Structure 1
């Protein structure tokens, strides 16, 4: 008798890039910024888990010892990026290199995007389950974060991750294979790079 069961693809690993020093903010490592009674890195991990990610890998760099001492990262795998000062690209390389061989995809998120919500994460995971191997959240049709990268694209992503480019080179080269997942109705793409940007978030409730 032929089984009617359909194989469900293994779940992507969440890869949270949290190595930045926040030098333009002047408030110490971004991972340790306080947001509604929690640290920013804890908030980001909670969002990824609430969105459906079971495995979370956190890449630390600036102030890594302090982040590990102060933040509740229970259940997360922590990767240290000794080259964090060279830019976000080195954190993406370190994170992808650390993923287990059986991880089929990485859902890459940034610690300084508090407007990303569990709903946005869940939509990217649904796109993956629907067959997408390269996907990005879009806001009003404009590509932003999080980004989902299937394992077959990891070597190309690692080659292109230089400076602060992250996965930009990969996504630009693979537009024909990229699935944009509209999230503008459930999330915000704002990142925190300036004191003005932080002030807009530090006194408000996230969505």
Structure 2
């Protein structure tokens, strides 16, 4: 009994393309062969071997977290004045209103730094999904609160930290989202700062490259000097009067539409 051999079709490979050229009387050189090393089976392409389509990488947006500074002593409220962050705006304490503004933004997380009258501040924030950290050295000035905020776990892994002052009632969630979007589009290498009619203000987003410099700050200073000496580009975003309005006095609270808290 004779055995019949039957050819089993297989998917063509790069060798088949070389063999065809040899049988056609050509002598493929080394460079020709190397140029055909494109990977995959030739059956994927009917006419000639071509590289497989590259896998498109998903773009990952830089992560921004918010540090809300709410530890100050509110010394300009006067001896008989209540805490400015407990003043009522839209039927709630200002610090709670600011925290909600931050929480509703596109930021990854919100860390609130508390200090002066922290029990009252914590009470106003008690049911919100926030990370609240205490600054035991709040009396030394703003720098210590920045250090505490940047050192918080939520801030450590971020590509940028948005520093927000809790006593600026005009800043909206929309304002924060505009700043965050600009920062993300800058590939997280620029400082982004809110301005009002060309005048620098707050909030501001600092990229991760400045974290170490922030952690070395001391005294009653914020990030302004750091921004000016960083050597990084600064992108300014106009958000109107909100970038300049803070409420450090009872008169300022009333002018901004709030009701001063009782002492």
TM-score by length of 2: 0.70
> How far apart are the structure 1 equivalents of 2:83 and 2:211?
27
Unaligned runs of 5+ in 2: 1-52
Correspondence list, 1:78-117, <5 A: 78-100=132-154, 101-117=156-172
> How far apart are the structure 1 equivalents of 2:84 and 2:210?
28
Is this contact kept in 2: 1:14–1:107, CA < 8 A?
A: yes
TM-score by length of 1: 0.88
> How far apart are the structure 1 equivalents of 2:231 and 2:165?
21
Cα deviation, residue 106, structure 1:
0.7
Cα deviation, residue 3, structure 1:
2.6
Is 1:71–2:125 an aligned residue pair? Answer: yes
Which is higher, the Rg of structure 1 or of structure 2? 2
Render the CA deviation track for 1:110-160: whole Å, top value 9, x for unaligned.
Answer: 01111111121011111111024311111111111101011111111232x
2:206 maps to which of 140, 149, 173: 149
Cα deviation, residue 188, structure 1:
4.4
> How far apart are the structure 1 equivalents of 2:119 and 2:253?
23
SS class of match (2:147): helix
Cα deviation, residue 51, structure 1:
2.9
Is 1:136–2:193 an aligned residue pair? Answer: yes
Unaligned runs of 5+ in 1: none
Cα deviation, residue 69, structure 1:
2.4
RMSD: 2.0
Render the CA deviation track for 1:146-200: whole Å, top value 9, x for unaligned.
Answer: 01011111111232x3333210111111365111112128x44201112221121
1:163 maps to which of 196, 207, 219: 219
C-alpha spacing 1:49/1:56, structure 2 compared with 1 (3 Å): same
C-alpha spacing 1:81/1:203, structure 2 compared with 1 (3 Å): closer
Cα deviation, residue 71, structure 1:
3.0
Displaced runs of 4 or more, over 6 A: none
